[in-house]
Structures are given as structure tokens and as C-alpha cells.
């Protein structure tokens, strides 16, 4: 019998969704009980919830097929010479938005992506406090599911056909907005902006609740991969400011270039992006 991870990514969605929700429950256990905050070497926060989710995800995903590597924010980064050999691997952020977790605002997620040849082909984003999951797989569309409810298909919003003067809806990072994003917003003809944490911003574009998410500052690959799959399968795109698709595992480091998340790919976003960096 073939291993599950050797089959179509869509066949894995239900299992990965269950693992992500279990990880989310482990986060909520810590969230409700209280926690201490440590600092990593780079100064970013670390809690028992990050580690509990990491162990849950790592164990669960390896249980699907032990041959598929798991790359987690809470593990050491293997050398690129090793990672170059990976044609397929799991890329996870056990707790995306630890600052949001520490601030207790609920805007944090569990991110799980399956990467094949540099592209995300399966993505699950689970928001434990909200009880909401967004998930997608190549060729299977994008979906949103509230706990105890049936999943519903989602799609990005077109820019055409709107009332005259309707504002572009921009979503930006709550803790990492920066002057470059402010400058971009000033170039847009008429826009409203909302600040949200974690990969919820990608999910808002995917479900048509926002038109553009610009990220003109540092992120890591595990921050974006799961949400990128959801956005792409919902009809949008995640690109560099030069409008090239964001790719994974192509270099020694794990940092992403500056990027934008757009819902309507037919709209001329490039007219606003030059000089954005």
C-alpha cells in the first residue's frame, strides 16, 4: 500500500487539519493556564505553547509518512546542502503570532504547509481562539471551516464591478507595519487599512475580506507557506514586489523577500509597487 504522503495533496487535507487542530488545542491549554515568556537568540518571544504545538505537529506529520522531512520554526535549520535534496517536505510554524499570543488578542495561528519543488501544494491555517480553519490543496480549491460547522469554499474578491469610489481594502501587520507600508498606502488612490496579526492577513485576502496585504519587512518561509497555498487556491497570488511568485527552499537562509498578497491578479498592482522597498 502506498504511503499517504506519496498521494495527491488533497488526500492529506483531512489528516493535516486534524493534526493542526490538535496542536491548536495544546496552545489553548497553555493560553488559559498562564505562561512565562522566554526569549530566543534573536530576541523573539518563546512560550510553552510554541513548543507544545511543535511537538504535536512534528509527531503527527511524521506519523503520516516518516520519509517526509519536517521543517519547523522551533527546530534547528538544516544546512542548505541537506535541504536541497528535499523535493517534498512539511514547513510549519507551530505558533504564528507569538507576540499576539503574549498580548492575548487572539490573532495567532497554527500554520502547516506541504512544499513540493519550491511551491506550497497544501496549506492549513488554524486560529485556535476563533475556532476557525482555512485550508487548501493544489487542484482542490480553498475552504474555511468554523468548528462544528461544514466547510465552505472561499474565493478572492474581484476589483472590478465595485461602486464608484469604493475603497481598496488593505490589511497590514499589527506589530510589523513599518514606514514602507505607510508609503505604499499613500500611493493608493483610495484605501482603508486594518491591522491584524499572524497569517490571518493572508486568509482575509483569500476569503475576499481584503484586497491587498503588503509585507515590506522581514518574514520567514514558515510564516507564509500555508497561507500562500490558501490564497493561490482561492484565486489570488503571493508575489515579490516584482510580481514574481514567492518560492521556498531556494537559498541558504529562510527569510522571505518583501512580498505582497493580492486577491485580484488581473488588477494592475504593479503601478503602485515600484519603489516600495
pLDDT digits (tens, 9 = 90+) for 221-251: 999 999 999 999 999 999 999 999 999 999 9
Question: 161 lies in a domain?
Answer: no
CATH number assigned to the domain comprising residue 215:
3.40.190.80
Residue 241: give the domain boundaries: 168-271
Question: 162 lies in a domain?
Answer: no
pLDDT digits (tens, 9 = 90+) for 178-208: 788 888 888 898 899 999 989 999 999 999 9
User: What is the Cα–Cα distance from 230 to 102, expressed in whole angstroms?
Assistant: 26
Residue 1 confidence (pLDDT): 30
Same domain, 181 and 255: yes
Same domain, 30 and 145: yes
Question: 158 lies in a domain?
Answer: no
Q: How many domains does the chain have?
A: 2
Per the annotation, does 95 bind a ligand? yes
Question: 160 lies in a domain?
Answer: no
- Region 23-33: what's the mean pLDDT? 95
Q: Residue 111 pLDDT > 90, yes or no?
A: yes
> Which of 103, 118, 153 is the C-terminal boundary of a domain?
153
Per the annotation, does 75 bind a ligand? no
Same domain, 13 and 142: yes
> Which of 153, 182, 207 is the C-terminal boundary of a domain?
153
Same domain, 198 and 105: no
> Which of 106, 122, 153 is the C-terminal boundary of a domain?
153
Per the annotation, does 97 bind a ligand? yes
Question: What's the pLDDT band for 173 if we cut at 50, 70, 90?
Answer: confident
| Percentage of residues in the chain having pLDDT higher than 90 | 77
Per the annotation, does 182 bind a ligand? no
Same domain, 87 and 183: no
Same domain, 130 and 192: no
- Ranges of beta strands (E only) in the chain are 38-39, 45-46, 70-72, 88-96, 109-116, 119-127, 132-137, 141-146, 152-153, 168-173, 191-196, 212-215, 237-240, 259-262
CATH number assigned to the domain comprising residue 144:
3.30.540.10
Same domain, 63 and 38: yes
What single string gives the DSSP state of each residue in 143-178? Answer: EEEETTS--EE--PPPSTTPPTTPPEEEEEESS---
Question: What's the pLDDT band for 2 if we cut at 50, 70, 90?
Answer: very low
Question: What's the pLDDT band for 124 if we cut at 50, 70, 90?
Answer: very high
Work out the mean pLDDT of the chain and round it to a whole number: 92
Q: Residue 174 pLDDT > 80, yes or no?
A: no
Amino acid at each position: 500500500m502506498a504511503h499517504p504522503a506519496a498521494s495527491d495533496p488533497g488526500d492529506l487535507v483531512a489528516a493535516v487539519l486534524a493534526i493542526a487542530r490538535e496542536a491548536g488545542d495544546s496552545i489553548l491549554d497553555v493560553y488559559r493556564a498562564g505562561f512565562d515568556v522566554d526569549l530566543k537568540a534573536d530576541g523573539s518571544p518563546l512560550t510553552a505553547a510554541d513548543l507544545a504545538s511543535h511537538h504535536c505537529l512534528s509527531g503527527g506529520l511524521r506519523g503520516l509518512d516518516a520519509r517526509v522531512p519536517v521543517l519547523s520554526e522551533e527546530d534547528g535549520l538544516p544546512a542548505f546542502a541537506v535541504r536541497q535534496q528535499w523535493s517534498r517536505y512539511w514547513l510549519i510554524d507551530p505558533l504564528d503570532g507569538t507576540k499576539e499570543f503574549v498580548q492575548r488578542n487572539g490573532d495567532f495561528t497554527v500554520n502547516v504547509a506541504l512544499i513540493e519543488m519550491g511551491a506550497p501544494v497544501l496549506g492549513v491555517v488554524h486560529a485556535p481562539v476563533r475556532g476557525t480553519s482555512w485550508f487548501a490543496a493544489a487542484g482542490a480549491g480553498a475552504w474555511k471551516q468554523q468548528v462544528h460547522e461544514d466547510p465552505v469554499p472561499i474565493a478572492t474578491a474581484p476589483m472590478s464591478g465595485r461602486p464608484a469610489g469604493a475603497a481598496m481594502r488593505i490589511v497590514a501587520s499589527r506589530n510589523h507595519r513599518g514606514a514602507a507600508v505607510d508609503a505604499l498606502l499613500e500611493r493608493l488612490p483610495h484605501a482603508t487599512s486594518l491591522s491584524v496579526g499572524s497569517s490571518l492577513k493572508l486568509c482575509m485576502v483569500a476569503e475576499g475580506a481584503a484586497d491587498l496585504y503588503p509585507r515590506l519587512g522581514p518574514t520567514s518561509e514558515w510564516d507564509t507557506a500555508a497561507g500562500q497555498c490558501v490564497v493561490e487556491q482561492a484565486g489570488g497570488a503571493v508575489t515579490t514586489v516584482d510580481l514574481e511568485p514567492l518560492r521556498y527552499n531556494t537559498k541558504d537562509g529562510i527569510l522571505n523577500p518583501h512580498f505582497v498578497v493580492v486577491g485580484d491578479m488581473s488588477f494592475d498592482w504593479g503601478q503602485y509597487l515600484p519603489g516600495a522597498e
